[in-house]
Amino acid sequence: MSSVLFVQLPPPRFSFSQAPVNIPLAAGFLMAALGRQAGQSIRASVLEESVASVYADSGLVEAVVQRRPSLLALTLYVWNVQRSLLLAARVKARLPDTKVVVGGPEATRDNEWLLRHPAVDAGVFGEGESRIQGVVGALAQGRSLADIPGTFCVQDKARRLNLEEPLPWDLAACGYPYLDRVIGPSRSGTLFLETVRGCPFQCRYCYYHKAYKSVRPHPRRAVEDVIRWAYQPDSQVAELYLMDPSFNLSPHYRDVLRLMAQLRPARDIRGHTELRAEFLDDEDPARLSEAGVASVEIGLQSVNPKALALAGRSSRIARIARAVERLKKESIEVTTGIILGLPGDRPEDFQKTLDWLKTTDAYTVVHPFLLSVLPGTDFRQRAGELGLTYDPRPPYYVQATPCFAEDELRDAMLVCETTFDMELDHIDLPCLVDHAPDLTVSLDAADYLSKWIVDPAKKKWRQKLAAALTKAADPFIFWFRGADCRGSEDDITRILDAFFDANPHAFVHVVFEYPTRPRPRFLQRLAARTAQPATYVNKSMQSWIKGTGVLSPAFTILVHDPLEQGSRRRILGAYEDLATIVWDIGAPDEEIISQAAGPCLVSAAVKPGSPYGYHLLRTLRQRFRSSPEDVLFRDNVLQQFWLRSTNQWQPQGFPERIVMDVD
């Protein structure tokens, strides 16, 4: 019997405690279609979230190899394609007979680097349900895919493409995968719901309308059944993400909202969706609010008519402004997207877009995007004609246009950052909990490892490093602690060298806790030696990252707070744009807290309800009223209490697993 393992790797995240949102909806539909057609001849499964969204690269390889699939099926998006192909290559090195088939938005006819990747045996363009059985059967039997429309394969070391358009899949042919429990909501309780497949618009920076040649609704009964199930007390759904690209233009848009509004009294679920704001009528914002939709995304992109016309977008910006005003009156959060680097847009035009937003207040949050010249899009096919210079690898950012030089793109993004008081390369501080008996484990007993507190001088790490590399989570925290940082520089370098060789796509916080601070020159060398600048996690913000030029590794230094501004400025100046300084204030009294600066670390381990604990937390809340995120605790009980009491708590991901080797 052939076995198929579907794998969808998550978007990068920067804190392990942050709940991942990685729902393999495409794999769920494929499994439903495969089960309907193939009967018992094929055993199919999805790599579970507790593996796909936990482990770094090395652990993922081990997990797949242990399952020994005949066929490894990868769903590829811009954020996971490089990492997925690394996984494929390493699995095939261990399991040479395993075939790798790819699909998803990255699998397009013109994405040459993917089509020619040595780890890929075959791929499917567009939706795969109608062809999944044929593809799996052919690969299992060693046959060519040449007669299957909309596929490619490697046969006799030659690449063969069938560019014939496949027939659209009948969306009523199999059930919605949530109802069969093939897949479920994310660990944070988010449920992705597609009510239609396809998009009526033809934005030239987007591939979605090309992947699906028409707009086809899912059967109304199936959509309603999923919604009714989501509102059941035991569904574990906390957020319903209506993921249609233009939800308010879906045929059953208002019916869906009406059903959600009817079910809300029994169980209130937060709604989120994407809208074309210019097509909302006067009553739609109230309908969305009554249904529990708390946040929406809209695409303004630009206010420049020429750029909008070249992008295939509407220029009815006055209607967008009125719609956003009505949405905000209903207390719906509006994230307004704009794109930097559109053909036809000049620096002064981008500035006009920023000015228009500030004048109209047509946003709650502004989300600026640097144009990605994505495979399969009109902009990719016409890049030469339009004069677009772009990175040929993910995230495919535009590097220059006839209207925008490379340095002007960077400058414009920084102007946007200042205009809307945002930090584009913001990374949350690492969790600095080191007192958590219920989270601290031995390496042998740990299923995975999210934080390793280690003194390199003790040399224990040498016996544990190989196991730690395989059990490491993504994201990961190295916490180097000891008596002499300078004397441990070589060992720290060896540890991080080995880690990034094994797990190049992981996001890593590196924390230093030493009596003497690490030398800035050492940190510069360490970043230059160990960082992986070509990975998505680093390239996604490469154009405007300061200091080391990469997000990972991210350095944090714990420093005893001198409680004096001049001393602080000198220390901060030595590490400007190179590392984050966290001021250790120990077990502070009221006077120390009054002089404390953020971010700060509290070392006290007391019960929140004790007299000292109560006074400590109250005084910290008063001092850091406007920036509670700048207060961190070593004690996990205090840390969790602080997050809840200052309204920072969010749905938690998988529990930390901390290994300590500092004795």
In sequence order, which ranges of 361-442 are alpha helices (DSSP H)?
Answer: 378-381, 383-386, 406-419
Q: Where are the domains of the chain?
A: 2-162, 190-370, 449-661
Query: What fold characterizes domain 2-162?
Result: Rossmann fold (3.40.50)
613: three-class secondary structure by DSSP: helix
Give the mean model confidence (pLDDT) for residues 43-51: 94
The per-residue pLDDT for 286 is 98
- Do 85 and 93 form a contact (C-beta atoms < 8 A)? no
Query: Could you give the percent of the chain with pLDDT greater than 90?
Result: 84
The per-residue pLDDT for 396 is 97
Give the mean model confidence (pLDDT) for residues 604-629: 91
Domains 2-162 and 190-370 share a fold: no
The per-residue pLDDT for 386 is 97
Sign of the CA dihedral with 155 first, then 161, 164, and 166 last: positive
- Do 398 and 373 form a contact (C-beta atoms < 8 A)? yes
Give the mean model confidence (pLDDT) for residues 123-148: 91
* pLDDT tens track for 216-272: 999 999 999 999 999 999 999 999 999 999 999 999 999 999 999 999 998 999 999
What are the contacts of 86-94 at 24+ separation with CB within 8 A? Answer: 86/57, 86/504, 86/505, 87/7, 87/9, 87/57, 87/60, 87/61, 88/117, 88/119, 88/120, 89/118, 89/119, 90/57, 90/61, 91/61, 91/64, 91/65, 92/119, 94/61, 94/65
Q: What is the mean pLDDT of the chain?
A: 93
Please, which residues have CB within 8 angstroms of residue 133's CB and are 6 or more apart in sequence? 33, 34, 37, 38, 42
Please, which residues have CB within 8 angstroms of residue 101's CB and are 6 or more apart in sequence? 71, 72, 73, 74, 120, 121, 122, 123, 124, 135, 136, 139
Integer Rg of the chain from CA: 26
Please say whether the structural domain 449-661 has been given the CATH code 3.40.50: no
Structure tokens at 413: 């993004």
- Do 602 and 633 form a contact (C-beta atoms < 8 A)? yes
- Do 184 and 173 form a contact (C-beta atoms < 8 A)? no
In sequence order, which ranges of 282-440 are alpha helices (DSSP H)?
Answer: 284-290, 305-311, 317-329, 347-360, 378-381, 383-386, 406-419
* pLDDT tens track for 23-33: 999 999 999 99
Please, which residues have CB within 8 angstroms of residue 588's CB and are 6 or more apart in sequence? 596, 602, 604, 616
39 has pLDDT over 60: no
Of 546, 543, 537, which Cα lies nearest the Cα of 575? 546
Of 288, 133, 269, 244, which Cα lies nearest the Cα of 190? 269
How many angstroms separate the CA atoms of 581 and 423, rounded? 17
Confidence of residue 545 (pLDDT cuts 50, 70, 90): low
Q: Edge-to-edge strands of the sheet including 293-301?
A: 190-193, 239-242, 270-275, 293-301, 333-340, 365-370
* pLDDT tens track for 503-536: 999 999 999 999 999 999 999 999 999 999 999 9
The per-residue pLDDT for 38 is 53
The per-residue pLDDT for 100 is 97
How many angstroms separate the CA atoms of 15 and 643, rounded? 15
Q: How many other C-beta atoms can be found within 10 angstroms of the C-beta atom of residue 119?
A: 18
The dihedrals phi and psi of 76, each to the nearest 5 degrees, come to -110, 125
How many angstroms separate the CA atoms of 182 and 26, rounded? 11
* pLDDT tens track for 174-231: 889 999 888 999 988 999 999 999 999 999 999 887 777 788 999 999 999 999 999 9
Tell me which DSSP letter residue 481 carries.
E
Confidence of residue 548 (pLDDT cuts 50, 70, 90): low
The per-residue pLDDT for 648 is 81
* pLDDT tens track for 96-110: 999 999 999 999 999
* pLDDT tens track for 488-511: 999 999 999 999 999 999 999 999
574 has pLDDT over 90: yes
Confidence of residue 36 (pLDDT cuts 50, 70, 90): low
The per-residue pLDDT for 604 is 85
The per-residue pLDDT for 29 is 95
User: Between 116 and 423, whose confidence is greater?
Assistant: 116
Query: What fold characterizes domain 190-370?
Result: TIM Barrel (3.20.20)
What pTM does this model have? 0.95
* pLDDT tens track for 293-334: 999 999 999 999 999 999 999 889 999 999 999 999 999 999
Give the mean model confidence (pLDDT) for residues 111-139: 94
Structure tokens at 659: 């290994």
The per-residue pLDDT for 17 is 87
562 has pLDDT over 80: yes
Query: Could you give the percent of the chain with pLDDT greater than 70?
Result: 98
Of 270, 189, 199, 229, which Cα lies nearest the Cα of 23? 189
